[in-house]
Amino acid sequence: MRRTVVMAGAAAIGAGLAVAAGRSGVLPGESWRERVWVTSQGLPSGPLGWVGAREQALEHRPMYATMAKELDLQADDDLLDVGCGSAGLLKYHAAHVRHVAGLDASEIQVAMARRRLAERVAAGTAEIVLGDAAALPWEDGRFSVVTSLASIEFVPDPLKVLSEMHRVLRPGGRAVLSLGMRVGNAAESGTKSAWGLWRWSEADARRLMEEAGFGDVSVSPPPTAYFTLQLGRGAKQVSPLVAEPEPVPIA
Ligand SMILES: C[S@@+](CC[C@H](N)C(=O)[O-])C[C@H]1O[C@@H](n2cnc3c(N)ncnc32)[C@H](O)[C@@H]1O
């Protein structure tokens, strides 16, 4: 009950700020919808971002549960969440995982995430990094699982981010991530909505993951009515074994 009231309050404040921002003329020459949505949700900053980050932390809980089921995390996994927000997924669904890392470009989100995971960060089993998903600060093959929830639809270059996620995944590792909105109209696939969200047809979303290097790719519609993004799954292929050279006979 308390959560519902908080969410309703946060949504009302967010909507009020959005309308105020749109009417204020602070957003000349741009899609005010995109600007407001990105500032509050896509890359939270300023007062709108402060509200948006807190509202997301509550609103996305059902999505964390869906992702956790898909991820099927094991105790010996090393998990990276790209665009981790306030680290709800890492906190509530990855407590049993050996090492968790989260990266986000919003200072507001990173501060919240560090507070949430303070004990694990102090213990050295978690790290939260302020950074850009298009340039992940980890070596190749660092993680056994990579994920991303409700974030790739906001980044400027989704292919670059997916390629980075593939790079830091170890061979045989798996990725489960949410991609942008699903569109049936081929002309809209690969374009942004008025709210600034990338959207793809299911076929294009699959191609995007394959282009980034993933194998065993599947893309499916939202598993629950609440979850409006499409889900992509893939794996990093184990390199084919190089054939042993034939022994050279000794004369
Ligand atoms: C809608 S929020 C989702 C956050 C979290 N995954 C969740 O579900 O609650 C999108 C997140 O992506 C982050 N983000 C956007 N662009 C990014 C980028 N280029 N690099 C890293 N994070 C980014 C934002 O700061 C924001 O926290």
pLDDT of residue 38: 85
Element (H, E) at 5: helix 2-24
pLDDT value, residue 206: 96
Q: What is the pLDDT of residue 11?
A: 55
DSSP string, 24-63: HT-STTS-HHHHHHIIIIIS--HHHHHHHHHHHHHHTHHH
- Ligand 1 pocket test: which of 104, 112, 132 has the largest number of ligand atoms within 8 Å of its C-beta? 104
Tell me which residue has its CA closest to atom 24 in ligand 1: 43
CA-based Rg of the chain, rounded to a whole angstrom? 20
Low-confidence ranges of the chain (pLDDT < 70): 1-30, 240-245, 250-251
Atom of ligand 1 nearest to the CA of 109: 27
The tokens for 208 are: 């995007």
Q: How far is the CA of 247 from the centre of ligand 1 (A)?
A: 54
Helix (H, G, I), strand (E, B) or coil at 159: helix
Distance in Å from the first CA to the final CA of the chain: 85
Contacts of 134 (CB under 8 A, 6+ apart): 155, 156, 157, 160, 161, 164
Ligand 1 close to Cβ of residue 173 (< 6 A): no
Question: pTM of the predicted model, to two decimals?
Answer: 0.86
- The answer to whether 176 and 71 are in contact (CB under 8 A) is yes
CA 200/CA 202 separation, integer angstroms: 6
State how far the Cα of 169 lies from the Cα of 142, in Å rounded to an integer. Answer: 6
Per the listing, tokens 């991820």 go with 71
Q: Give the pLDDT confidence score for residue 170 in this predicted structure.
A: 97
251 Cα: distance to centroid of ligand 1 (angstroms): 65
Contacts (Cβ under 8 Å, ≥6 apart) of 198: 152, 153, 154, 158, 179, 180, 181, 190, 191, 192
Sign of CA dihedral 192, 178, 21, 26: negative
Distance 192 CA to ligand 1 centre (A): 16
Domain ranges for the chain: 2-59, 62-235
At residue 208, what are phi and psi to the nearest 5 degrees? -60, -45
Ligand 1 atom closest to Cα of residue 88: 9
| CA 29 / ligand 1 centre spacing (Å) | 25
Q: Tell me, in angstroms, the distance from the centre of ligand 1 to residue 217's CA.
A: 23
Superfamily of domain 62-235: Vaccinia Virus protein VP39 (3.40.50.150)
Strands 229-235 and 215-220: antiparallel
Residue 209 · residue 233 · CB < 8 Å:
no
Question: Among 138, 134, 167, which Cα is nearest to 151's?
Answer: 134
